[in-house]
Amino acid sequence: MLDTYGRDLDARPSRFAPAPLPPADPARGGPRAHGYRIPPPAGSGWTDMHEFGNGLLITRLRCRFRQAFEEEQTRFPDNVRLGLLLEGTGALAHAGGESSVGAGSVVARLADPGPVRNRIPGGQAQAGVALDMPRAMLDTLQAQGLAPPWLGREGALFVFRPDPRTGAELCRLGRRLLGLRPGGSLLAALALESLSLDMLLRLLSAHPSSPARGLAPASRRDRDTLDAALDILHAEWDQPLTIAALARRAGTNECYLKMRFRQHTGQTIAAYLRSLRMRHARDLLESRRYTVQETAQLCGYLHAGKFSQAFRREFGCPPSSVR
């Protein structure tokens, strides 16, 4: 699996440039790994893949592309892939249907679903983790009657949101995985594999908060409306936006926008905007140019206390710990 995905990224040098990782010795328990960076003309950030001795593979991503783009994937390993988006949005199109993916969504694939088009927005922070489980593991789970019932048939591709409690646990695990810096030591390899197995167990045990769904058809009007609303939110995240004004500028009515926005991102507009502001707040704090009070004001908060509460809910730590 590692080599298959590696060849796909190697074929796109304008967006993914090889970035050597600290060497690990597979004979001593270290995973095989590939690392890539996003070159400056395309954006910034990184992605890497680590394949363990049991065949499990984890992919991690934290990046921002300057321009929106679409790409088609036509080759898939004969396995199960479960991906969790932690930050950002995207869209998948498959066999005439399309579904938007938002933070907290899980994208599940079983074997080869046929050609899939991915639409990636520009100027937006993207972060996520994905786990590829080899076919042998799935066969064992099925033989033991432990395969999740929502996994579906061969060639399935669908999006779901776990129940709130499991979703929160998955997001915490995902952020811990993104924060690991695997090196050449056995301890680093064990930490990465241990957290990956924990996440796989929770994903396989997840109960969708709504029935898992295949990619649903989306009209051009829906896509244009949602794209317009998302563009406004990402361009004016620090402004006092109202849903009524957002709907008017996106060319629709308030009720329709709220309904379609939640269907396609899994979040309310208010929750999405709050999360977007917190991600910008983290970037400001990490730059070390602003105090917590200044960051709160830049993000539209009059009181640092309310800002700190929102930041802690989003990231599980106070803003003072970032600086």
Banded model confidence at residue 249, pLDDT cuts 50, 70, 90: very high
Half-sphere exposure of 264 (CA within 13 A, CB side): 29
| pLDDT tens string 118-138 | 989 888 889 999 999 999 998
Q: What is the pLDDT of residue 65?
A: 94
Of 266, 252, 254, the residue nearest 219 (C-alpha):
252
| pLDDT tens string 170-221 | 999 999 999 888 766 778 888 899 999 999 999 988 766 654 555 544 556 7
Q: What is the pLDDT of residue 84?
A: 95
φ, ψ for residue 135 (rounded to 5)? -55, -35
Total-model pTM: 0.69
Domain regions of the chain by residue span: 2-214, 220-321
- Top CATH class of 2-214 equals mainly beta
| pLDDT tens string 12-70 | 889 999 998 876 655 555 678 999 999 999 999 999 999 998 999 999 999 999 998 88
What's the distance, CA 74 to chain centroid?
21
Superfamily of domain 220-321 in the CATH hierarchy: Homeodomain-like (1.10.10.60)
Q: What is the pLDDT of residue 176?
A: 92
* C-alpha dihedral sign at 173, 174, 180, 183: positive
Has residue 285 got a pLDDT over 80? yes
Query: Cα–Cα distance between 168 and 202 in angstroms, integer?
Result: 11
